[in-house]
Amino acid sequence: MEAGREMPHKRPVEERVKDWKEYVLSPDPAELKVQAARCMDCGVPFCHQGCPLGNIIPDWNDLVYRDRWREAIERLHATNNFPEFTGRLCPAPCENSCVLGMDIYKQPVTIKQMEVSIIDRAWKEGWVQPLPPKKLTGKKVAVVGSGPAGLAAAQQLARVGHKVTLFERADRIGGLLRYGIPEFKMEKRHLDRRIEQMKAEGVEFKVNTNIGHDVSAEELRKGFDAIVLAGGSTQPRNLPVPGRDLKGVHFAMEFLTQSNKVQEGDKVENQITAKGKHVIVIGGGDTGADCIGTAHRQGAKSVTSLELLPKPPLDRAADNPWPQWARILRVAPAHEEGGEILYSVSTKQFLGENGVVKKLQAVKVEWIPQPAGPPKLQEVAGSEFEIPADLVLLAMGFTGPEKNPLFEKLGIELDQRSNVKADANKMTNVPGVFVAGDMTRGQSLIVWAIAEGRAAARGCDLWLMGETTLPSPL
């Protein structure tokens, strides 16, 4: 209440759009101490309840304030396997639940900044070391999918002595952390060193292996005592309007994956590139922002983002009180780098020449409140307009896990949204088969994925051994 909230500095726009390095600068240690001191160690804290992992935030804030950094990373690692991921990529629901974020203050503690600073120093000081099990259980577990949920589940299970094999259908480990998140948001060295740590803890990684295709359900059941499914929610939401089949209209992940492969040093034939093009990004979430930042770095002529929803307010609305997630206007660093955002806009069709997209036709919409139920979407008469479009990227979210013969062969039940059903211990209707992350929750945050992975590991260990020492974050 005495010191104000100070956010970490970012590299200048004109500098950072010329390379792929992370845009956030490391904060000054003295300033970090001041920011840590802003945490009031509330008698009834809400921050760790806002965090799906249950991070004990007041504790490690106080330890940073007292220069006890090694104890801080121990406290942080107690609930979070990968704070360098969440500290860079999570939208920080904990900060929305901070008592200092109440309307009378509106300056929550910089929890996310503190988190990433603790883990970055821990790596620098050599405090992050492999934690192999003291003894093996003789049980073998297959983890399918190497995104944050799969990685968290695999690490937890390996640390309690199970022989873990993690399968990934792509050519590298990491899932969306590898091929969905641009380098400027998280350099892949952070991912690579966690993988090396996990190898030293006994996890075996197998890439280029599509479970259900390259390895059958029968082989998986026969070769392992338990299975954890963590394949994510990777079926993209389509936009079935006239002109969708024109060249130059792509799903966001096609574009981002290719760009990330190039950053890994791969040669990509016929790469989808924004260089010299008028780029339209449809969808205003994190994936859309990643497309915008990538387009800027590739040298786009212009970048326009279309959002179906109206522009959010600057402050919380009356029906959105603290400590709920604040539905307010947020500007991503990618938006600071240029381009335009058009709110309350619906795409009508794509127009092209010789089979290639050239324009996008859109219309303004308004949301009409209804006496009962959600507001009704209605086009504004006479508001149609066209904008140049050489590359259109669909970033409208995901509709669930991709169909896989593994589900049918194992007899796994899905819910109405095509997500995998699970009980309180994250076990499916098939004994010994567990599920974690977006595959069961639907598209969600990285912090939820890690929490789900930890919960699935606990449920799996309990089922295998009859007891467990692994904590439950959920």
The pLDDT tens digits of the residues spanning 158-190 come to: 999 999 999 999 999 999 999 999 999 999 999
Query: What pLDDT, on the 0 to 100 scale, is given for residue 338?
Result: 94
**Mean pLDDT to the nearest integer, 338-343:** 96
User: pTM of the prediction?
Assistant: 0.96
**Mean pLDDT to the nearest integer, 416-441:** 96
Query: What pLDDT, on the 0 to 100 scale, is given for residue 104?
Result: 66
The 3-class SS string of the chain reads: CCCCCCCCCECCHHHHCCCCCCCECCCCHHHHHHHHHCCCCCCCCCHHHHCCCCCCHHHHHHHHHCCCHHHHHHHHHCCCCCHHHHHHHCCCHHHHCCHHHCCCCCCCCCHHHHHHHHHHHHHHHCCCCCCCCCCCCCCEEEEECCCHHHHHHHHHHHHCCCEEEEECCCCCCCCHHHHCCCCCCCCCHHHHHHHHHHHHCCCEEECCCCECCCECHHHHHHHCCEEEECCCCCCECCCCCCCCCCECEEEHHHHHHHHHHHHCCCCCCCCCCCCCCEEEEECCCHHHHHHHHHHHHHCCCEEEEECCCCCCCCCCCCCCCCCCCCCCCCCCHHHHCCCEEECCEEEEEEEEECCEEEEEEEEEEEEECCCCCCCEEEECCCCCEEEECCEEEECCCECCCCCCHHHHHHCCCECCCCCECCCCCCECCCCCEEECCHHHHCCCCHHHHHHHHHHHHHHHHHHHHCCCCCCCCC
* Average of per-residue pLDDT values in the chain: 95
pLDDT above 70 (res 105): no
In order of their start, the domains of the chain are: 13-125 (1.10.1060.10), 140-234+399-465 (3.50.50.60), 249-394 (3.50.50.60)
**Mean pLDDT to the nearest integer, 405-424:** 94
pLDDT band at 449 (very low <50, low <70, confident <90, very high): very high
Query: What pLDDT, on the 0 to 100 scale, is given for residue 373?
Result: 87
36-82 pLDDT, tens per residue? 999 988 888 899 888 999 999 999 999 999 999 999 999 999 999 99
pLDDT above 90 (res 318): no
| pLDDT top residue among 156 and 315 | 156
